[in-house]
Amino acid sequence: MKIGNNKGYLIILVFIITIICFWYILPEYGMMSIATPFYITGLFCYIFGRKWNNKALNPYLHKETGKEVNLKRSHSLFLIKMQYWAIPFIFCATILLSKSINQVDGDLYLIIQNAALVFFFVSLIFVTIKVFENSKYKRYFIIIWSGKGYLIILAFLFTFISLTLLFPTSKHIVAAPFYITALFCFIFGKIRNDKVAETVIDQETGKEVSFKTSDSLFLIKVKYWAFIFIVFAVIITFGSPTRTSKNNVNHKSYFNENF
Protein backbone atom coordinates (compact mmCIF):
# COMPACT_ATOMS: atom_id res chain seq x y z
CA MET A 1 0.00 0.00 0.00
CA LYS A 2 1.26 3.44 -0.86
CA ILE A 3 1.84 5.45 2.32
CA GLY A 4 1.79 8.97 0.92
CA ASN A 5 0.01 10.04 -2.23
CA ASN A 6 1.60 12.93 -4.16
CA LYS A 7 2.73 15.43 -1.49
CA GLY A 8 1.26 13.55 1.47
CA TYR A 9 4.71 12.39 2.56
CA LEU A 10 5.50 16.00 3.53
CA ILE A 11 3.38 15.54 6.66
CA ILE A 12 5.90 13.06 8.05
CA LEU A 13 8.83 15.19 6.91
CA VAL A 14 7.51 18.38 8.54
CA PHE A 15 6.70 16.53 11.75
CA ILE A 16 10.20 15.02 12.02
CA ILE A 17 11.90 18.36 11.30
CA THR A 18 9.84 20.24 13.90
CA ILE A 19 10.43 17.52 16.51
CA ILE A 20 14.20 17.75 16.00
CA CYS A 21 14.13 21.54 16.18
CA PHE A 22 12.05 21.83 19.34
CA TRP A 23 13.16 18.74 21.26
CA TYR A 24 16.89 19.16 20.76
CA ILE A 25 17.40 22.86 20.08
CA LEU A 26 14.89 24.20 22.65
CA PRO A 27 14.63 21.44 25.30
CA GLU A 28 14.32 23.89 28.21
CA TYR A 29 10.73 24.76 27.28
CA GLY A 30 9.43 21.43 28.55
CA MET A 31 6.06 20.29 27.24
CA MET A 32 5.89 23.26 24.89
CA SER A 33 8.78 21.68 22.98
CA ILE A 34 6.73 18.50 22.56
CA ALA A 35 3.33 20.02 21.82
CA THR A 36 4.50 22.67 19.36
CA PRO A 37 5.71 20.21 16.66
CA PHE A 38 2.26 18.62 16.66
CA TYR A 39 0.62 22.01 16.32
CA ILE A 40 2.92 23.23 13.53
CA THR A 41 2.41 19.99 11.60
CA GLY A 42 -1.35 20.30 12.04
CA LEU A 43 -1.26 23.87 10.81
CA PHE A 44 0.81 22.77 7.81
CA CYS A 45 -1.70 20.03 6.99
CA TYR A 46 -4.63 22.43 7.20
CA ILE A 47 -3.16 25.27 5.11
CA PHE A 48 -1.46 23.28 2.38
CA GLY A 49 -3.95 20.41 2.40
CA ARG A 50 -6.80 22.77 1.55
CA LYS A 51 -4.68 24.60 -1.00
CA TRP A 52 -3.35 21.57 -2.86
CA ASN A 53 -6.44 19.34 -2.68
CA ASN A 54 -8.72 22.11 -3.94
CA LYS A 55 -6.48 22.97 -6.87
CA ALA A 56 -7.97 21.75 -10.14
CA LEU A 57 -5.85 20.26 -12.90
CA ASN A 58 -6.14 21.33 -16.52
CA PRO A 59 -9.66 20.40 -17.74
CA TYR A 60 -10.14 18.06 -20.68
CA LEU A 61 -13.03 17.09 -22.94
CA HIS A 62 -14.66 13.71 -22.44
CA LYS A 63 -14.61 11.80 -25.73
CA GLU A 64 -18.06 10.24 -25.38
CA THR A 65 -20.06 13.10 -23.89
CA GLY A 66 -18.03 16.02 -25.20
CA LYS A 67 -18.33 17.72 -21.82
CA GLU A 68 -15.52 19.43 -19.98
CA VAL A 69 -14.17 17.37 -17.08
CA ASN A 70 -12.26 18.89 -14.16
CA LEU A 71 -10.00 16.69 -12.08
CA LYS A 72 -8.28 17.41 -8.78
CA ARG A 73 -5.06 15.89 -7.53
CA SER A 74 -5.34 14.13 -4.18
CA HIS A 75 -2.60 14.68 -1.60
CA SER A 76 -3.00 12.19 1.23
CA LEU A 77 -1.25 10.08 3.85
CA PHE A 78 -2.53 6.56 4.54
CA LEU A 79 -5.51 7.32 2.28
CA ILE A 80 -6.50 10.31 4.45
CA LYS A 81 -6.37 13.73 2.80
CA MET A 82 -3.86 16.20 4.18
CA GLN A 83 -6.35 18.69 5.61
CA TYR A 84 -7.99 16.00 7.74
CA TRP A 85 -4.65 15.22 9.40
CA ALA A 86 -4.72 18.72 10.90
CA ILE A 87 -7.40 17.66 13.40
CA PRO A 88 -5.52 14.80 15.16
CA PHE A 89 -2.23 16.72 15.18
CA ILE A 90 -3.70 19.86 16.77
CA PHE A 91 -5.76 17.69 19.13
CA CYS A 92 -2.60 15.94 20.34
CA ALA A 93 -0.88 19.31 20.78
CA THR A 94 -3.75 20.58 22.92
CA ILE A 95 -3.87 17.46 25.09
CA LEU A 96 -0.10 17.40 25.64
CA LEU A 97 -0.02 21.05 26.66
CA SER A 98 -3.01 20.71 28.99
CA LYS A 99 -1.34 17.81 30.83
CA SER A 100 1.48 20.08 32.00
CA ILE A 101 -0.60 23.11 32.92
CA ASN A 102 0.29 22.83 36.63
CA GLN A 103 3.86 21.65 36.20
CA VAL A 104 5.58 24.91 35.28
CA ASP A 105 7.73 27.34 37.23
CA GLY A 106 7.70 31.07 36.71
CA ASP A 107 4.77 33.39 36.17
CA LEU A 108 5.89 34.46 32.70
CA TYR A 109 6.18 30.90 31.44
CA LEU A 110 2.82 30.09 33.04
CA ILE A 111 1.15 32.94 31.15
CA ILE A 112 2.80 31.91 27.87
CA GLN A 113 1.75 28.31 28.29
CA ASN A 114 -1.82 29.21 29.20
CA ALA A 115 -2.07 31.58 26.24
CA ALA A 116 -0.74 28.83 23.97
CA LEU A 117 -3.27 26.37 25.37
CA VAL A 118 -6.14 28.74 24.63
CA PHE A 119 -4.80 29.34 21.13
CA PHE A 120 -4.35 25.61 20.48
CA PHE A 121 -7.85 24.77 21.67
CA VAL A 122 -9.56 27.51 19.66
CA SER A 123 -7.49 26.51 16.63
CA LEU A 124 -8.65 22.93 17.04
CA ILE A 125 -12.31 23.95 16.99
CA PHE A 126 -11.78 26.35 14.08
CA VAL A 127 -9.82 23.86 11.95
CA THR A 128 -12.34 21.08 12.60
CA ILE A 129 -15.21 23.31 11.55
CA LYS A 130 -13.48 24.66 8.44
CA VAL A 131 -12.28 21.24 7.28
CA PHE A 132 -15.74 19.69 7.41
CA GLU A 133 -17.42 22.86 6.18
CA ASN A 134 -15.63 22.53 2.84
CA SER A 135 -16.07 18.78 2.50
CA LYS A 136 -18.75 16.41 1.28
CA TYR A 137 -19.88 16.01 4.91
CA LYS A 138 -21.05 19.62 5.11
CA ARG A 139 -24.72 18.69 4.78
CA TYR A 140 -24.58 16.77 8.06
CA PHE A 141 -23.66 19.93 9.98
CA ILE A 142 -26.39 22.21 8.62
CA ILE A 143 -28.51 21.63 11.75
CA ILE A 144 -25.64 22.69 14.01
CA TRP A 145 -24.61 25.82 12.13
CA SER A 146 -24.96 27.62 8.83
CA GLY A 147 -22.85 30.38 7.34
CA LYS A 148 -20.62 31.91 10.01
CA GLY A 149 -22.69 30.66 12.93
CA TYR A 150 -19.78 28.61 14.21
CA LEU A 151 -18.08 31.86 15.27
CA ILE A 152 -20.42 31.97 18.26
CA ILE A 153 -18.84 28.77 19.56
CA LEU A 154 -15.34 30.09 18.95
CA ALA A 155 -16.05 33.44 20.60
CA PHE A 156 -17.54 31.84 23.70
CA LEU A 157 -14.84 29.20 24.09
CA PHE A 158 -12.06 31.72 23.58
CA THR A 159 -13.38 34.15 26.20
CA PHE A 160 -14.42 31.43 28.65
CA ILE A 161 -11.12 29.53 28.57
CA SER A 162 -9.01 32.70 28.54
CA LEU A 163 -10.71 34.23 31.57
CA THR A 164 -10.83 30.92 33.42
CA LEU A 165 -7.11 30.35 32.95
CA LEU A 166 -5.88 33.88 33.51
CA PHE A 167 -8.01 34.96 36.48
CA PRO A 168 -9.29 33.40 39.71
CA THR A 169 -12.89 32.26 39.55
CA SER A 170 -15.65 34.50 40.80
CA LYS A 171 -19.23 35.02 39.75
CA HIS A 172 -18.20 38.07 37.74
CA ILE A 173 -15.49 36.22 35.83
CA VAL A 174 -17.81 33.28 35.16
CA ALA A 175 -20.48 35.60 33.74
CA ALA A 176 -18.05 37.71 31.71
CA PRO A 177 -17.75 35.28 28.75
CA PHE A 178 -21.53 35.33 28.37
CA TYR A 179 -21.62 39.13 28.29
CA ILE A 180 -18.74 39.31 25.81
CA THR A 181 -20.24 36.65 23.55
CA ALA A 182 -23.62 38.40 23.68
CA LEU A 183 -21.97 41.63 22.56
CA PHE A 184 -20.20 39.76 19.76
CA CYS A 185 -23.45 38.16 18.59
CA PHE A 186 -25.25 41.50 18.60
CA ILE A 187 -22.58 43.37 16.63
CA PHE A 188 -21.75 40.53 14.25
CA GLY A 189 -25.43 39.74 13.72
CA LYS A 190 -26.22 43.36 12.83
CA ILE A 191 -23.34 43.51 10.36
CA ARG A 192 -24.17 40.22 8.66
CA ASN A 193 -27.94 40.70 8.72
CA ASP A 194 -27.92 43.35 5.99
CA LYS A 195 -25.16 41.79 3.91
CA VAL A 196 -26.22 40.47 0.50
CA ALA A 197 -24.69 37.09 -0.23
CA GLU A 198 -25.73 36.76 -3.87
CA THR A 199 -27.74 38.62 -6.50
CA VAL A 200 -29.28 36.77 -9.45
CA ILE A 201 -31.55 37.67 -12.35
CA ASP A 202 -35.00 36.08 -12.42
CA GLN A 203 -35.39 34.65 -15.93
CA GLU A 204 -39.18 35.07 -15.94
CA THR A 205 -39.43 38.65 -14.67
CA GLY A 206 -35.96 39.91 -15.55
CA LYS A 207 -35.64 41.49 -12.11
CA GLU A 208 -32.76 41.19 -9.71
CA VAL A 209 -33.29 38.87 -6.75
CA SER A 210 -31.01 39.28 -3.74
CA PHE A 211 -30.25 36.61 -1.17
CA LYS A 212 -29.03 37.67 2.25
CA THR A 213 -26.52 35.74 4.30
CA SER A 214 -27.91 33.22 6.76
CA ASP A 215 -25.71 32.76 9.82
CA SER A 216 -27.20 30.57 12.51
CA LEU A 217 -26.37 28.14 15.29
CA PHE A 218 -28.82 25.34 16.01
CA LEU A 219 -31.23 27.02 13.56
CA ILE A 220 -31.19 30.25 15.62
CA LYS A 221 -29.83 33.36 13.91
CA VAL A 222 -26.70 34.95 15.34
CA LYS A 223 -28.37 38.18 16.44
CA TYR A 224 -30.90 36.27 18.58
CA TRP A 225 -28.12 34.46 20.40
CA ALA A 226 -27.20 37.81 21.95
CA PHE A 227 -30.40 37.73 24.02
CA ILE A 228 -29.85 34.09 25.01
CA PHE A 229 -26.34 34.80 26.29
CA ILE A 230 -27.53 37.92 28.12
CA VAL A 231 -30.18 35.87 29.94
CA PHE A 232 -27.59 33.31 31.03
CA ALA A 233 -25.19 36.08 32.05
CA VAL A 234 -27.81 37.77 34.23
CA ILE A 235 -28.78 34.47 35.85
CA ILE A 236 -25.14 33.70 36.66
CA THR A 237 -24.43 37.22 37.92
CA PHE A 238 -27.39 37.57 40.24
CA GLY A 239 -28.19 33.93 40.89
CA SER A 240 -24.77 32.61 41.92
CA PRO A 241 -24.00 32.56 45.65
CA THR A 242 -21.31 34.90 46.88
CA ARG A 243 -17.90 33.32 46.91
CA THR A 244 -16.14 32.95 50.21
CA SER A 245 -12.78 34.47 50.90
CA LYS A 246 -11.18 31.05 50.44
CA ASN A 247 -11.65 31.42 46.72
CA ASN A 248 -9.55 34.58 46.67
CA VAL A 249 -6.42 32.62 45.93
CA ASN A 250 -3.46 33.86 44.01
CA HIS A 251 -3.04 33.21 40.32
CA LYS A 252 -0.60 30.33 40.52
CA SER A 253 -2.31 28.38 43.31
CA TYR A 254 -5.57 28.48 41.39
CA PHE A 255 -3.98 26.55 38.54
CA ASN A 256 -2.38 24.06 40.86
CA GLU A 257 -5.67 23.25 42.54
CA ASN A 258 -7.96 23.20 39.52
CA PHE A 259 -5.91 21.79 36.65
Entry field: residues in the chain: 259
pLDDT in tens, 194-244: 665 555 565 566 666 555 667 888 888 888 899 999 998 888 888 755 444
Is the pLDDT higher at 136 or at 149?
Answer: 149
pLDDT at 182 over 60: yes
Triad 202, 204, 210: Cα angle to 5°? 15
In percent, the amount of the chain with pLDDT more than 70 equals: 63
Q: What angle do CA 92, 89, 108 make, to 5 degrees?
A: 55
DSSP type of residue 70: -
In three-state form (DSSP H/G/I as H, E/B as E, the rest C), the secondary structure along 81-126 is: EHHHHHHHHHHHHHHHHHHCCCCCCCHHHHHHHHHHHHHHHHHHHH
3-state secondary structure of 33: helix
Q: What is the pLDDT of residue 111?
A: 73
- The predicted model gives 103-125 an average pLDDT of 75
Instruction: Tell me the three state secondary structure of residue 220.
Output: strand
User: Around Cβ 146, how many Cβ atoms within 10 Å?
Assistant: 20
d(C-alpha 209, C-alpha 205), whole Å: 10
Is the pLDDT score of 174 beyond 70?
A: yes
Predicted local distance difference test score (pLDDT) of residue 216: 83
| Helices 107-133 & 150-166 angle (0-180, nearest 10) | 170
